[in-house]
Amino acid sequence: MSNIGTFFWYELRTTDQDAARAFYAQVAGWRAEPSREPGTFHRGDQRVAGLVDLPERARALGAPAHWLGHIGVHDVDASASRLVALGGQLLGPVRHATDGKVAILRDPQGVVLALSSRSEASAGGAVAWHELHTTDRARAWSTHAELFGWKATETLDLGPQVGPYQTFAWRDGERSVGAMASTARAAHVHTHWLFYLTVSDLDASLARVRSLGGTVDGPRQHPGGQRVAYCEDAQKAAFGLYEPARTR
């Protein structure tokens, strides 16, 4: 499947690469390549994510360690210009790589994301769900749907604290791959994309998160039998864990 219009690569920008390698190896079953820069995480034989130092400029501005998602686009310069015209902000110059370009931007609600024309292989099922915590779900949806062609699939009412929870697919007729909600209006929630890593045993993974200095909120069970939890690693990078519904 084409990477265009989808999150296809994920990059952990951290303050301690050695600790991150050990953490995600035990929590998600990923292995890291310690001798490469930038580093990479593997799930079996598949490259699923990158591992880099949190940039000094970001540290100086108070940014915590975080996961950065890359969305595939045909033309990085044109897509970045359109996002800026919609109220976004380009964070530094467009980077040139051997196989394409990468631009890092802040969307109109303050969420950081990357646009990429690189041919990096998709991370596949390593990330199960993409959840946008924003201050204005309706405006965020309008921006992302225009830029990337995403399709709304369902809107759930999750009560007064969360409000509408809008799920979406990359393309018409495909399954839902994520959701958006105006949860960042709450004082304790910052604007961010939360990526849910697939695990086979959620309880065991959560025990490892805690033992390695991370934090856990959950778990919660969905009506379909899937179980999820919100987490932070020991360097305060937020992520989710997702256990598929068990088949009988």
Query: What's the CA gap between 228 and 32, in Å, rounded?
Result: 24
Exposure class string for 19-54: b at 16+ Cβ within 10 A, else e = bbbebbebbbbbebeeeeeebbbebeeebbbbbbbb
List, for residues 39-58, the tens digit of each pLDDT value.
899 998 888 999 999 998 88
Q: Could you tell me the pTM of the whole model? A: 0.94
Q: Are 128 and 135 in contact (CB under 8 A)?
A: no
Averaged pLDDT of the chain: 91
Nearest 5 degrees, angle CA 94-CA 99-CA 104?
25
Q: Which amino acid is at 36?
A: R
Backbone φ and ψ of 20, nearest 5°:
-65, -40
* Fold classification of 7-243 (topology level): 2,3-Dihydroxybiphenyl 1,2-Dioxygenase; domain 1 (3.10.180)
Give me the residue label for tokens 């890359």. Answer: 70
With both helix axes pointing from N to C terminus, report the angle between 17-28 and 202-211 in degrees, rounded to the nearest 10.
150
List, for residues 119-142, the tens digit of each pLDDT value.
766 666 899 999 999 999 999 999
* Rg, Å, the chain Cα set: 17
- The predicted structure's pLDDT at residue 26: 97
Per-residue pLDDT of the chain (248 residues; tens, 9 = 90+): 578 999 999 999 999 999 999 999 999 999 987 655 678 999 988 889 999 999 988 888 888 899 999 999 999 999 999 999 999 999 999 998 778 899 999 999 999 999 999 876 666 689 999 999 999 999 999 999 999 999 999 998 887 778 899 999 999 999 999 999 999 877 778 899 999 999 999 999 999 999 999 999 989 988 778 999 999 999 999 999 999 987 65
| Domain edges within the chain | 7-243
